[in-house]
Structure formats: structure tokens, C-alpha cells
């Protein structure tokens, strides 16, 4: 076993890249992920690294088939993102991108909850710079909200870990379930990073505000690390079936009416994560296999789609569907790669999504979850509408917006080309991916029933899109803002607070004035009786005092002795 931590080369790159001159930095951007991948090949299932910190024994590395799969995936994603961003001169963006990738690798090899927490927080802190690098007011505000939400996720993980350790005396990162409040806090912390319903708006708020290259990094690591933790610690948790089905469903409606194409991809990401969450909820076996296989493929085809839209944004400065169109004339290679990504996410046969999404749906059908299967079927048709058709159609074909620009830079094209090749290669030869999965695979995606069913689904989805467009029913691309859950804490709660201040301030001032008047009146009453001229301040004659005492004594004797 190699002595270097699986994340060592990526973390080292994050620290060294700012110190290197431009040429050396570009070489390091490509070599470090490759060196890290080669380093990872030295690990075998069962290997580990143990250390100590503050009196606790920490398992810095725990290697099994599940962690190896995500380790390979994250190194491939880091290489593609680095290649796509090779033209950048921004040292901070590249360095934090590598720290971000290294944190994801460290998290998936963590053997206990403390190590997971360390890398979990590094994920949040390093990734926000991909958003702030845009340097616009919107990006700074979105990045700040993103950071606060993800720090909250880490706090939930930390509190849950401490509570779980107090209850069980164990810090092991294994199956936890949700049988205690401690593990429920951990589950909620993971759910934030996984973009569960009502906890998802950080993704579509922040990712579209990132740089063209930053979105490629962001799409690869945070949510997939959360899926890994779900598969590791909460496999078979029934509630995940319904959470995942909801995640697969609701983003479709937002994506169809969204104008910003990177926000469309954000909603599409939540939709695809929904399939993974359902797979985890189905439990060990085909369910978890389908979930992690789809996570592997999603990093590739979603990264490819974000790269193509990033290239469009880089060359045109525009990303709204209403502003684009006709770009196939200026950016034919980018258009072609985008269509490969669209075919992959739509699960066309011979493309990567076909061999993993079907595994989750087949597992749901095999276990008798008919309603979940039907919801996933509807979601599969919906994703073809908003990601398979809408993204390439409105960016490259819808109408000629008159934009004439150069093709994407060569490094972007090469990165997209590698991503597209992997999408087609995995879709055509799925057994290579299946051999990396954590459980034995007894599934053949290319049977006649599945192929015919999927082609029918895609054909009728395309027919519905054409019919909606020709009849004018399909929602037009409008320059508008769609209200999501984040409206509650960005608009509703601040507005309610301001209203309370406006209405409550006069009432409060009146209450304070009334209280002051009552206090002054009380002081005046006390002054009348106890002031220098008050009744109780006068000198009383001795005879009066004796008479008063005599009266009190008589009353006492009458009441108690009479």
C-alpha cells in the first residue's frame, strides 16, 4: 500500500499552485490529478491509515469498493475541470478548486465521523471561492448565502457526531440509520448538501452565479460526496424513497419555465440526484449499485453540460435562453458535445445515463414500489424535456440571435471531448463501470424490453415538446425571476421583519412612554408619604405612639386569646 493519502496530490496542488509561474502552474494542473489517480491505484480493498488527534484515534483512510469508486471518479472530474480551466490566470480560483476536489476525496475515504467533518467543512470553505471569483454583487451575496447554509450543514454533522459518540462511544463511519436524534441530525446535515426538497435552493441560487469554469468544479463534488455518505450510512432508509421521488419530480416544473440555462442545469442536477437518493433508499444490492453508478455518470454528463454552457457564457457573455440561439454556426464542436451530454442525461441507448438510471428504476420495480417507479418514469420523460431538448435547443438552434463568436478555447474543447468520449464509452461498454460497483452486478441493460420502453418514452417526450412548441403552449423564455424556497429567507422573512419594525415601533414607543409615566407617578406617590414633608417623615408625639401600640396589642389579644 502506498503511504500517501489518496487526497494528498490534490491538496498539495491547492497549496502550491498559487506559488508557481503560469507555465509551471498549467503543467501542474494536469499532472497532479493524474499523479493522484496513479497513487490511488496503489490502494487495495481493506487498506487503511490510522492516526490520533486530541486523544482520539482517527481513521484517515478506509478503503473499500465504494470509496475506491468515488475516489477514481473525483480524480477524473478534477482532471477534466482542471483541463477546462487551463486558460485561467486566476491563481486563487485554480488553487481552491484543487482544495475542493481534495476535500471531496478525503471525505469519501474517511473512516470515522471526525475525519468526515474535517473534510466536510473544507468542502464548504474551498468551494465558495468558485462563486465569489465572479466578483459581482449577485455572486458575492449568493456565495455568502451558500457558505452560511453549508456551514450550518457542518454544524449539524458535528453536533450529531458528538451526541452519537456520547450515546454509543463510537465514531465509526458506517451504517447509522435514523433511529436516534443524533443520527437524525447527521442525516439532516447530509440532506442539506444533497439538496433535499426545501433544502435545495442553495444549489440553484449559487451555482449559476459561479464562473464558467467554477460551475464545472461545483457540479462534481459537493452533492456527490453527500450521496456517498447516504450510501455509506443510510442505505435502506425507507424515507429516502419518497425524498428521492420528490427530488426527481419537482425540479422539472421549475426547469421548464427557467430562462437561465445554468439554473436549468441546477434544477436538472437535483432531478438526477433524486434517482440516486431513491437507489440508496432501496438498500444494498441493485439499489445502491444503481445510485453510485448514476452518480459516476452524472458527474460526467452533467459536467459536460456545464462545460458546454460555460463555453457559451465565456464566448458570448450570455446564458439566458431568450438571448441565445443559432450558435451552432459559430460553436459547432461545443454544440455537438452538448448534444452528447443531453443524450446521456436523457438515457438514450449507447449513452451513459441509459446503463445507470435504468438500474435504479429496475430495482424499484423488482421490490414492488410501483408508485415510486411511475414517478421516476415521469421524471425520466421530464428530464428529456428540460435538459435533453431545452438546453441544446435554446442555446444553439431555437432562433438566430445574430451572435457570431469564436469557438471555445482548445483546452475547453479537449475537456468536453474527453467527457463526451467517456459518456459514449460507458454507455456502450457498461461492464467496465459495473466492475467497480460495491456489490456484484446481475443486470443487463441492453435487453429488448428496456430498449423499446426507453425509446418509446423518448419518442413521445420529443413529440410532446414539438406539439407544445407548435401550439404555443410551451412556456416561453422570459426575462423573469422564478420564486423558489429561498424566497422565504431572502424576501419573506426580511420583509416581515421590516413590517414588524414599522408597525411595532410606534406601539413599543407608546408602551415605553406609558411605563415611564407609571414609574414617575409611583415615585411621586412615594414622595408624598416618605419625602421630607411626607406623612411618615414627620416626628410623632410619644403619647400617640403609645396609644397606637396599645391599640395593636388590644387587637392581638382579642383575635388570638379571646
On whether residue 483 sits in a domain, the answer given is no
242 and 227 within one domain: no
227 shares its domain with 311: no
DSSP state of 331: -
Residues 468 and 505 in one domain: no
pTM across the whole model:
0.87
Residue 485, domain member (yes or no): no
Q: ∠330-332-336 over CA atoms, to 5°?
A: 150
- Do 65 and 110 have their domain in common? yes
In the chain, DSSP finds a helix count (H) and a strand count (E) of 23, 2
Residue 486 is assigned to a structural domain of this protein: no
**1 and 32 together in one domain:** yes
- pLDDT tens per residue, the chain (562 residues)? 456 999 999 999 999 999 999 999 999 999 999 999 999 999 999 898 888 777 778 999 999 999 999 999 999 999 999 999 999 998 999 999 999 999 999 999 999 999 999 999 999 999 999 999 999 999 999 999 999 999 999 999 999 999 999 999 999 999 999 999 999 999 999 999 999 999 999 999 999 999 999 999 999 999 999 999 999 999 999 999 999 999 999 999 888 888 899 999 999 999 999 999 999 999 999 999 999 999 999 999 999 999 999 999 999 999 998 889 889 999 999 999 999 999 999 999 999 999 999 999 999 999 999 999 999 999 998 888 878 888 999 899 888 888 889 999 999 999 999 999 999 999 999 999 999 999 999 899 998 888 998 898 888 888 888 887 778 777 666 666 777 777 777 777 788 888 888 888 888 888 888 888 888 888 877 777 666 766 666 666 776 677 777 887 888 777 777 6
Classify residue 292: in a domain, yes or no: yes
Q: What would the DSSP string read from start to end of 228-256?
A: HHHHHH-TT-THHHHHHHHHHHHHHHHHH
Quote the domain boundaries for residue 242.
236-478
Residues 449 and 547 in one domain: no
Q: In terms of domains, do 333 and 385 share one?
A: yes
Q: How confident is the model at residue 384, as a pLDDT?
A: 86
Cell of 14: 491547492
Identify whether residues 533 and 549 lie together within a single domain: yes
Domain boundary among 234, 256, 284: 234
- Which residues does 320 contact at the CB level (< 8 Å), separation at least 6? 259, 260, 261, 477, 479
In this structure, are residues 315 and 406 in contact, taking their beta carbons and an 8 Å threshold?
yes
Among 234, 250, 271, residue at a domain's last position: 234
DSSP 154-202: HHHHHHHHHHHHHHHS--B-S---SSSHHHHHHHHHHHHHHT-TTS-HH
Q: Which of 211, 234, 257 delimits the end of a domain?
A: 234
Identify the pLDDT of residue 270: 95
Q: Does residue 401 sit in the same domain as residue 529?
A: no
Quick one: 244 and 314 in the same domain? yes
What is the pLDDT at residue 1?
47
Over its C-alpha atoms, the chain yields an Rg (Å, rounded) of 32
| Domain count along the chain | 3
H or E stretch including 60? strand 56-62
Whether residue 495 is contained in a domain is answered as yes
- Evaluated on CA atoms 84, 299, 203, 25, the torsion sign reads negative
Dist CA 286 CA 273 (whole Å): 17
β-pair partners for 57: 52
Neighbours of 188 (CB within 10 A): 17
**Quick check: is 348 in a domain?**
yes
Q: How far apart are CA 554 and CA 548, in angstroms?
A: 10
Do residues 81 and 163 share a domain? Answer: yes
Claim to verify: residue 384 and residue 499 sit in the same structural domain: no
Q: Kindly tell me the burial class for residue 245, based on how many C-beta atoms sit within 10 Å of its own C-beta (0-12, 13-18, 19 or more).
A: buried
Amino acid at each position: 500500500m502506498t503511504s500517501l493519502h489518496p487526497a494528498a496530490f490534490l491538496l498539495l496542488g491547492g497549496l502550491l499552485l498559487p506559488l508557481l509561474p503560469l507555465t509551471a502552474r498549467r503543467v501542474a494542473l494536469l499532472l497532479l490529478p493524474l499523479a493522484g489517480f496513479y497513487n490511488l491505484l496503489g490502494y487495495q480493498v481493506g487498506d487503511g491509515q490510522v492516526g490520533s488527534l486530541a486523544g482520539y484515534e482517527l481513521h484517515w483512510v478506509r478503503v473499500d469498493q465504494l470509496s475506491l469508486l468515488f475516489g477514481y471518479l473525483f480524480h477524473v472530474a478534477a482532471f477534466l475541470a482542471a483541463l477546462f480551466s487551463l486558460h485561467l490566470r486566476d491563481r486563487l480560483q485554480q488553487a481552491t478548486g484543487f482544495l475542493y476536489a481534495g476535500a471531496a476525496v478525503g471525505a469519501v475515504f474517511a473512516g470515522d465521523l471526525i475525519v468526515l467533518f474535517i473534510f466536510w467543512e473544507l468542502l464548504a470553505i474551498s468551494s465558495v471561492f468558485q462563486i465569489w471569483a465572479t466578483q459581482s454583487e449577485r455572486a458575492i451575496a449568493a456565495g455568502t448565502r451558500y457558505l452560511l447554509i453549508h456551514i450550518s450543514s457542518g454544524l449539524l454533522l458535528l453536533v450529531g457526531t458528538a451526541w452519537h459518540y456520547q450515546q454509543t462511544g463510537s465514531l465509526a463511519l458506517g451504517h447509522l440509520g435514523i433511529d436516534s436524534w443524533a443520527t437524525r441530525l447527521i442525516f439532516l446535515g447530509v440532506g442539506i448538501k444533497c439538496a433535499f426538497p426545501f433544502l435545495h435552493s442553495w444549489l440553484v441560487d449559487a451555482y449559476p452565479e459561479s464562473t464558467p469554469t467554477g460551475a464545472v468544479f461545483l457540479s462534481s463534488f459537493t452533492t456527490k460526496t453527500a450521496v456517498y455518505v447516504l450510501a455509506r450510512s443510510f442505505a435502506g432508509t425507507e424515507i429516502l424513497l419518497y425524498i428521492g421521488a420528490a427530488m426527481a419530480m419537482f425540479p422539472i416544473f421549475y426547469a421548464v419555465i427557467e430562462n437561465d440555462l445554468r439554473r436549468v442545469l441546477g434544477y436538472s442536477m437535483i432531478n438526477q440526484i433524486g434517482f440516486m437518493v431513491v437507489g440508496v433508499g432501496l438498500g444494498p444490492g441493485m439499489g445502491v449499485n444503481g445510485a453510485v453508478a448514476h452518480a459516476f455518470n452524472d458527474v460526467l454528463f452533467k459536467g459536460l453540460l456545464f462545460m458546454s454552457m460555460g463555453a457559451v457564457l465565456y464566448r458570448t457573455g450570455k446564458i439566458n435562453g431568450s438571448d441565445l440561439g443559432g450558435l451552432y454556426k459559430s460553436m459547432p464542436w461545443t454544440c455537438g458535445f452538448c448534444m452528447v451530454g443531453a443524450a446521456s442525461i436523457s438515457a438514450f441507448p449507447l449513452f451513459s445515463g441509459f446503463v445507470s438510471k435504468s438500474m435504479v428504476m429496475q430495482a424499484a420495480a423488482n421490490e414492488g414500489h410501483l408508485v415510486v417507479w411511475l414517478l421516476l418514469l415521469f421524471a425520466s420523460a421530464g428530464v428529456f424535456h428540460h435538459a435533453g431538448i431545452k438546453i441544446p435547443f435554446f442555446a444553439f438552434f431555437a432562433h438566430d440571435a445574430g451572435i457570431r463568436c469564436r469557438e471555445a478555447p482548445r483546452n475547453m474543447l479537449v475537456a468536453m471531448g474527453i467527457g463526451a468520449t467517456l459518456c459514449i464509452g460507458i454507455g456502450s461498454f457498461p461492464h467496465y463501470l459495473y466492475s467497480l460497483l460495491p456489490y456484484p452486478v446481475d443486470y443487463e441493460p441492453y435487453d429488448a424490453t428496456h430498449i423499446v420502453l426507453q425509446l418509446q418514452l423518448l419518442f413521445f417526450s420529443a413529440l410532446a415538446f414539438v406539439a407544445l412548441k407548435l401550439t404555443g403552449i410551451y412556456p416561453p423564455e422570459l426575462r423573469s425571476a422564478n420564486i423558489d424556497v429561498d424566497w422565504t429567507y431572502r424576501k419573506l422573512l426580511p420583509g416581515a421583519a421590516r413590517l414588524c419594525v414599522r408597525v411595532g415601533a410606534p406601539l413599543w414607543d407608546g408602551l415605553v412612554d406609558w411605563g415611564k409615566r407609571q414609574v414617575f407617578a409611583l415615585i411621586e406617590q412615594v414622595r408624598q408619604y416618605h419625602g421630607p414633608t411626607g406623612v411618615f417623615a414627620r416626628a410623632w408625639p410619644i403619647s400617640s405612639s403609645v396609644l397606637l401600640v396599645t391599640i395593636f396589642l388590644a387587637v392581638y389579644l382579642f383575635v388570638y386569646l379571646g
